[in-house]
Amino acid sequence: MAEGRETDALAESVVELAYRPTVGELASALRARARTTGAGRFQRGALVWTVAVTTIGALLSAAGSGHRDTPWPLYAGVVVFIAFMTAVPWLQARRFHRLAERQGDISGTVDDTGVRLTTAHSSAGHDWHLYSRYAETPELFVLLSADKSAVGLVVLPKRAVAGPQEVDRLRAVLDRHLVRADTAEAPASPRSRGRAVGRGVGSVGLLLLGLLLFFFAFAAVQQAAHPDRFPGIQNNTAPISAVMLGLGALAVAGAWWLVRRMSAMRIVTAVLAALVLVAGGAAVYRVGPMLHCWGADRIAQGPEGAYVCYDF
């Protein structure tokens, strides 16, 4: 009888699948893997920094007297490179999908012994010791191999099972044998506490950076804004001030993004960000009337308060 109960329990834990993978699902799985590996996080960080540096360079190059010599072909090449790197998961998914299409429909089972997948031309078994963790997206479960780069992965679409209850059973089987890739984010884990402290410090640092940038943006147009103290035609620093305003706004947005999943810090950051943005609003109020002279070399305030553009 004990043997019969064990057999029944094993049968109850079996989850059956039937599906044919799509390009979108494969691309989603590759993006999920990238989020859990150091190489993937480095690539995303490099892209963010490339976009930021290129944007700052383009804005600064377009400002002032040198705007006619802006190397737009170089910036266009950077944009094409960024677009290509962003599309890499989709391009890889296309290649994998062509191979999967030759295999046809996939059927299989997931239970406490592992994953078994069968197609019209092949069959494969994956024991649990081959995989250390899994990632979950709204559409997929992605099993990741134990190596740092997670070279091996198994994609299990949620649509492949009979219904929501089967999705829950499949998740339960995975939880018994693998670690969720986002377990490190659990509030009680030491790693999570360390990250929380780091995110809090980073958020405060970004808010201070945003406040500093808003101050510089305000100060950059000091002479043009006060013709009584600084008479005559002044250098047009409004475009540079506008760039600093944009960077300050990005710093404030980044401060909130770092703590968006931390309820207490999110409230504190929102209050501090509102105060910082008040300073940014004062700078915008001063710089805004000058921005119609974006490409001009010089600027001066007329007797009626309007700004006149000069291009020598």
Label residue 141 by pLDDT band (50, 70, 90): very high
| 275 HSE (CA, 13 A, CB side) | 9
Lowest mean pLDDT, pick from 6-10, 209-213, 294-298: 6-10
Match 């997670």 to its residue by tokens: 150
The pairing of strands 131-136 and 140-145 is antiparallel
Q: At what angle do helices 23-36 and 38-62 cross, to 10 degrees?
A: 90
Q: Are 117 and 106 in contact (CB under 8 A)?
A: yes
pLDDT value of residue 10: 46
Residue (of 128, 216, 226) closest to 174 by Cα position: 128
Label residue 169 by pLDDT band (50, 70, 90): very high
Q: Are 126 and 145 in contact (CB under 8 A)?
A: no
Measured CA to CA, the distance from residue 238 to residue 219 in angstroms comes to: 10
pLDDT value of residue 6: 46
pLDDT at 26 over 90: no
pLDDT value of residue 173: 93
Digit-coded pLDDT (tens) for 285-296: 888 888 888 778
pLDDT at 1 over 60: no
Measured CA to CA, the distance from residue 120 to residue 114 in angstroms comes to: 20
Lowest mean pLDDT, pick from 5-14, 79-88, 203-212, 219-228: 5-14
pLDDT at 186 over 90: no
